[in-house]
């Protein structure tokens, strides 16, 4: 798991707290978009911002229940106000 072993500690150390994911539809590719035709037909240019140093990335494992196919695990997903505000 390279993300847990290397990337997450680096992000935390250097405070690399967000990931910018630009998305746009290029002319001629509208039919391949999962968006409705009235939206993709007009085109779009958006940026999705993901927070990378809080929440599930650094949550503490809480437990496991069940066995076999019904086994499940659950963790915490905590965000501090400053983590949300800086985004």
Single pTM value for the model: 0.55
How large is the greatest C-alpha to C-alpha distance in the chain, in angstroms? 50
Instruction: Specify whether 23 is located in the same domain as 40.
Output: yes
- Domain, as residue range, for 5: 1-17+52-86
Asked if 57 and 81 sit in the same domain, the reply is yes
41 and 56 in a single domain? The answer is: no
Whether residue 85 has pLDDT greater than 70? yes
What pLDDT digit, counting tens, does each position of 47-79 carry?
A: 999 888 777 777 777 889 999 999 998 888 888
Same domain, yes or no: 38 and 13: no
pLDDT for position 3: 66
State percent of the chain over pLDDT 90.
Answer: 17
Q: Indicate if 44 and 57 belong to the same structural domain.
A: no
Structural domains counted in the chain: 2
């Amino acid at each position: 798991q390279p993300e847990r072993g290397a990337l997450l500690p680096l992000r935390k150390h250097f405070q690399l707290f967000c990931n910018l994911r630009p998305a746009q539809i290029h002319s001629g590719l509208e039919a391949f978009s999962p968006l409705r035709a009235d939206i993709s037909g007009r085109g779009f240019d958006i940026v999705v911002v993901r927070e990378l140093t809080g929440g599930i990335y650094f949550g503490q494992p809480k437990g496991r229940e069940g066995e076999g196919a019904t086994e499940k695990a659950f963790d915490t997903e905590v965000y501090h106000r400053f983590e949300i505000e800086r985004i």
